[in-house]
């Protein structure tokens, strides 16, 4: 099942069910007004949503309209909670080596709590104050959960993963080291993220939902040139383990989004990268200096993971960086 949110004049939009080929969608009126509402009563509405999905695919759903008739927002235009991990060991190890830091501990996931009151739509222009902050994209996968009880383990946590999403976790690389040195975490270095337009239930991924991970390449294009296609299965910790980590000392409200961190593979020199910082790190190791600059105003980044057969899953994030009006 594929779900999305369309503009309605409200902050949270309206919930729609999307066809498997992304060609059409229908409002989930009478089932749940918003995706947040659906997540808060998932066991009560899932059956009706799946029935509507069957009708959408068959072309018989009431109010069915082509994709072009809708203005798609992020599946959750705002969320109660956004927790981002760093679950790809190859990325963390590279960054630690470049910046001469101690390696991260391997016995527990890395995770921080980020800005959640806004997620940019997939084609929305993204404003930044200055190029001097080091504008970078970060391609990730993520999951959205229903209510997760305090102290649940990974096995139980897996049952609370209701949707899988694709995320661009924007980063300002020149601000990050300053905030890291304070020991209080990120605020300025982590602005709002972007989200691909469609959230999918794990079963929609078929065999690509493997070991609680997305076993698909995430293709990243920067200004039209392929930048990387790292595979999401290389996570050192699965999504159920990340959810359990987050829930160790607190329950998680329905609609909590948990990210994988930058998708990265050990053979990054072959498959490329999902963020500029990793490319620059490779250059420092190989050549002693980073040559690739961060993003400039007017640059575009496109990210998409498709099925093995080439069918759309989450849709594409395709955005331009612009100067903010201050």
* Mean pLDDT along residues 3-14: 97
- Kindly give the residue spans of alpha helices, DSSP state H, lying in the chain: 35-40, 42-58, 89-98, 154-158, 176-182, 239-246, 268-271, 276-287
* Mean pLDDT along residues 283-303: 95
**pLDDT for the residue 313:** 98
**pLDDT for the residue 28:** 98
Query: What's the pTM value of the predicted model, to 2 decimals?
Result: 0.96
- Alpha carbons 282 and 94: distance in angstroms, whole number: 8
Domain spans, the chain: 2-69, 82-323
- More confident site: 180 or 77: 77
Edge-to-edge order in the sheet of strand 126-128: 126-128, 317-323, 300-304, 217-222, 225-231
pLDDT tens across 157-171, in order? 999 999 999 999 999
- Alpha carbons 256 and 297: distance in angstroms, whole number: 32
Q: Is the pLDDT of residue 48 over 80?
A: yes
* Mean pLDDT along residues 74-103: 87
| Sign of the dihedral defined by the CA atoms of residues 99, 274, 319, 314, in that order | negative
Residue at token pair 């991924």: 205
- pLDDT-derived band at 99 (thresholds 50, 70, 90) equals low
| Sign of the dihedral defined by the CA atoms of residues 252, 124, 213, 1, in that order | positive
pLDDT tens across 105-162, in order? 678 899 999 999 999 999 999 999 999 999 999 999 999 999 999 999 999 999 999 9
Domain 82-323 fold is Fumarylacetoacetate hydrolase; domain 2 (3.90.850)
Other C-beta atoms closer than 10 Å to the C-beta of 257 total 26
- Kindly give the residue spans of alpha helices, DSSP state H, lying in 159-238: 176-182
């Amino acid at each position: 099942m594929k779900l999305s949110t369309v503009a309605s004049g409200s902050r949270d939009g309206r919930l729609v069910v999307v066809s498997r080929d992304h060609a059409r969608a229908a409002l989930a009126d009478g089932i749940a007004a918003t995706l947040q509402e659906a997540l808060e009563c998932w066991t009560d509405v899932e059956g009706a949503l799946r029935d509507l999905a069957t009708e959408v695919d068959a072309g018989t759903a009431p109010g069915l309209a082509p994709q072009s008739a809708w203005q798609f927002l992020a599946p959750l235009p705002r969320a109660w909670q956004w927790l981002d991990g760093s679950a790809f060991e190859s990325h963390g190890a590279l960054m630690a080596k470049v910046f001469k830091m101690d390696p991260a501990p391997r016995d527990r996931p890395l995770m921080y709590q980020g800005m959640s009151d806004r997620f940019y739509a997939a084609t929305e222009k993204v404003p930044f104050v200055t190029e001097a902050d080091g504008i970078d994209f970060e391609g990730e996968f993520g999951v959205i959960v229903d209510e997760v009880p305090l102290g649940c383990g990974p096995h139980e946590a897996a049952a609370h993963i209701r949707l899988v999403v694709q995320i661009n976790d924007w980063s300002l690389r020149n601000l990050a080291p300053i905030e890291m040195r304070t020991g209080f975490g990120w605020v300025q270095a982590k602005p709002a993220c972007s989200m691909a337009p469609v959230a999918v239930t794990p079963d929609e991924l078929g065999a690509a939902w493997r070991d609680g991970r997305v076993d698909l390449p995430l293709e990243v294009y920067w200004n039209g040139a392929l930048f990387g296609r790292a595979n999401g299965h290389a996570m050192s910790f699965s999504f159920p383990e990340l959810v359990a980590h987050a829930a160790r000392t607190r329950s998680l409200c329905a609609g909590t989004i948990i990210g994988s961190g930058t998708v990265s593979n050990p053979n990054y020199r072959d498959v490329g990268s999902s963020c500029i910082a990793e490319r620059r790190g490779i250059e420092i190791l190989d050549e002693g200096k980073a040559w690739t600059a961060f993003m400039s105003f007017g640059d575009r980044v496109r990210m998409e993971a498709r099925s093995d057969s080439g069918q759309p899953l989450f849709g594409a994030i395709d955005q331009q960086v612009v100067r903010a009006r201050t």
